[in-house]
Amino acid sequence: MKQQNKMTALYCRLSRDDELYGDSSSITTQKAMLAQYAKQNNFQNTGYYADDGYSGTSFNRPDFQRLVGDVEKGLVGTVIVKDLSRLGREYLQTGIYLENFFPDNGVRFIAIDDNVDSAKGTNEFVPFRNIINEWYARDISKKNKSAYRTKALKGEFIGSYAPYGYKKNPEDRHKLIIHEETGPIVKTMFEMAAAGKSTYLIAKFLKGERIKIPRMKVIEEQNTWHSESVMRYPYDWQPITVRNILLNRVYIGHMVSQKSCSKSYKNRKLIARPKEEWVEVKNTHEPIVDEETFNLAQKELSIKRRARGDKMENLFVGRVKCADCGKSLNLSRAKSHTSFACATYVRHGKEACTMHHINYRDVYEAVLNSIRIKSEQIRSDTQFFFDGMRDVFCKNADIEKTQKEKSIARTERRIGEINAIIKKLYEDNCIGKISDERFMILGGEYEAEQKGLREQLIADKKEYAAIAEKSDNISKFVSIIEKYKDLQNLDETVVIELLDKVVVYEHEKANGKTIQKIDIYYNFIGIA
């Protein structure tokens, strides 16, 4: 193809980082500028290639790759950009395109603002400009990470799309409000999970109700994130989608962020951060579910359920544990009885654990009788039961709370004193009363002390909350068990609401009799 018949490619690029840090050249502005330059300099047969929202540190951009393809086909004779940074901000790769790819394919390259035109010879400053562009990209990356972490620590929402069940507040896009349509759906999902329904059954229910999947809602409401498969199957809920929603603490009003990060400013592939590096700020928005329902759902999610061919009901699935190895006891049915046996022993033999086993009916009766006894105690004297439980589980709680309150007050007071001291040191340094060296030494010591105090304050507040929670948990337990004062039989609802686990010990012999010891642990109060 003759050079005069080849296309003049007008390439534009703009990333979110460019917009954030002051580059006002929008895609529309770039197109207008390039078109005017082409017209004034008599470039014919022009065509646009534009990548909006793509970083210059990567060349894996849709329209740039289309441009590369057209160059390789011999369709492009000239490439014009606003400046070198529009082509890319990665020094080595940008140099390869400028010094090898374009010349090897007979393509003239022009960067208007940088006064670069390959037809006029080599510009010695081009490599330096490319290095500066890469430094700029690295600097932006650091500033972005710092800015996002600051927002995360303030409890602001920094995602592109609100979590399913929420939407961004129109008055403040960093705040979440409950979505009037999808919020109730999320609440139903948690209630089903807390009642023992598996993620598979929840997904099946949502699909049957023809409720659109989260990505389909984004496509409808944001007109973005399009996918042919999603458009074709808008109700195709998967168990993993349900599970990810049920595990998200955003639904109890807490903002959890910084869960992933990019490998580097050049490689935007996300990698998971360790949980201890996540940032969680509590009570940042209205919760969709209460913490009790959320915690029940987490507990049910942690239980591994297996489909049984004999359809035998096991009310205690995942809740009967071995006292020695801590693993769950498997349920099996023989001709004469149904019983639990230690999974570790069954799988690995006596070298791994001992033969803990118990009849299913014995577990059933022990749990039922325990609930009946506690219900009767509450019926006889609720306050006496509550006080007795409080003596057991909240022993010295009032003393501990008072001590923590005093410790917290002392720590906060000292932090305030250090702030005042550092301010005074700064003022004295400014007017020359103390030297810079002395200021640095003293300031460093006080800042180190203050850092330790802040860490201690966080720990004390957590311990204080845990102490206060003990009394609340007893009240929760009493309010639940009161519903079952006349309990005749166990069912799934009773077990999920009340029972944490049953710990089974190995059989012992005493006075010629075999003794089977078990411990029953309840939700909220533990062993009782």
- Residue 362 counted as domain residue: yes
- Residue 79 counted as domain residue: yes
pLDDT reported for residue 139: 54
Cα distances from 132 to residues 43, 57, 84, 145, 176, in angstroms, run 30, 13, 10, 20, 39
Q: 376 with 400, same domain?
A: no
Q: 421 with 339, same domain?
A: no
Domain count, the chain: 4
Q: 473 with 504, same domain?
A: no
pLDDT reported for residue 145: 57
Q: 33 with 64, same domain?
A: yes
Quick one: average pLDDT of 300-309?
Answer: 63
- Please report, for the domain that includes residue 226, its CATH number: 3.90.1750.20
Cα distances from 88 to residues 75, 174, 502, in angstroms, run 22, 31, 62
pLDDT above 70 for 522:
yes
Q: How far apart are CA 465 and CA 449, in angstroms?
A: 24
Q: How far apart are CA 434 and CA 458, in angstroms?
A: 34
Q: Band of the pLDDT at 396, cuts 50, 70, 90?
A: low
pLDDT above 60 for 268:
no
Across 75-89, 324-338, 367-381, 392-406, which has the greatest mean pLDDT?
Answer: 75-89
3-state helix, strand, coil split of the chain in percent (to 5) is: 50, 15, 30
pLDDT above 70 for 67:
yes
pLDDT above 90 for 311:
no
Token pair in block for residue 152: 């995360």
Q: Which domain holds residue 114?
A: 3-140
Q: 362 with 509, same domain?
A: yes
Residue 457: its H or E element: helix 436-481
Lowest mean pLDDT among 59-68, 96-105, 122-131, 501-510: 122-131
Give the three-state DSSP class for 51.
Answer: strand
Token pair in block for residue 165: 């069940």
Q: How far apart are CA 478 and CA 468, in angstroms?
A: 16
Q: 377 with 507, same domain?
A: yes
pLDDT above 80 for 85:
yes
- Residue 502 counted as domain residue: yes
pLDDT above 60 for 345:
yes
Closest CA to 222 of 158, 169, 161: 161
pLDDT above 60 for 133:
no
Q: Pick the last residue of a domain from 301, 328, 350.
A: 301
The stretches of 482-512 forming alpha helices (DSSP H) are 492-498
Q: 58 with 123, same domain?
A: yes
Q: What is the DSSP letter of 97?
A: I
- Residue 145 counted as domain residue: no
- Residue 51 counted as domain residue: yes
pLDDT reported for residue 278: 73
Instruction: Give the rounded percent of residues in the chain with a pLDDT score beyond 70.
Output: 81
Q: Band of the pLDDT at 308, cuts 50, 70, 90?
A: very low
User: Rounded mean pLDDT of the chain?
Assistant: 81
Q: How far apart are CA 248 and CA 254, in angstroms?
A: 9
pLDDT above 50 for 440:
yes
Cα distances from 377 to residues 200, 327, 501, in angstroms, run 40, 32, 22
With b for 16 or more beta-carbon neighbours within 10 A and e for fewer, the 474-510 pattern comes to beebbebbeebeeeeebeeebbbbbbbbbbbbbeeee
pLDDT above 70 for 212:
yes
Other beta carbons within 10 Å of 189: 27
Q: How far apart are CA 177 and CA 109, in angstroms?
A: 50
Q: Band of the pLDDT at 19, cuts 50, 70, 90?
A: very low
Q: Pick the last residue of a domain from 240, 271, 301.
A: 301
**Tokens 């944490």 sit on residue:** 500
Q: Pick the last residue of a domain from 269, 301, 333.
A: 301
Please state the pTM of the whole predicted model.
0.48
The answer to whether residues 31 and 10 touch, using CB atoms and an 8 Å cutoff, is: yes
Lowest mean pLDDT among 38-42, 259-263, 405-409, 520-524: 259-263
472 alpha-carbon distance from chain centroid: 28
pLDDT reported for residue 336: 66
Lowest mean pLDDT among 96-110, 256-270, 407-421, 430-444: 256-270
Q: 398 with 387, same domain?
A: no
First-residue to last-residue Cα distance in the chain: 88
pLDDT reported for residue 74: 92
The answer to whether residues 14 and 26 touch, using CB atoms and an 8 Å cutoff, is: yes
Q: 165 with 288, same domain?
A: yes
Residue 194: its H or E element: helix 182-194
Cα distances from 283 to residues 167, 251, 364, 382, in angstroms, run 16, 10, 40, 33
Quick one: average pLDDT of 468-489?
Answer: 78
Q: How far apart are CA 430 and CA 435, in angstroms?
A: 9
Residues 6+ apart with CB under 8 A from 48: 10, 12, 31, 34
pLDDT reported for residue 343: 85
Q: 199 with 297, same domain?
A: yes
Using only C-alpha atoms, the chain has a radius of gyration, in whole angstroms, of 33
Quick one: average pLDDT of 485-502?
Answer: 86
Give the three-state DSSP class for 206.
Answer: helix
pLDDT reported for residue 471: 66
Cα distances from 211 to residues 171, 181, 230, 346, in angstroms, run 28, 10, 13, 44
Higher pLDDT, 382 or 246: 246
Across 48-62, 67-81, 258-272, 512-526, which has the greatest mean pLDDT?
Answer: 67-81
pLDDT above 60 for 22:
no
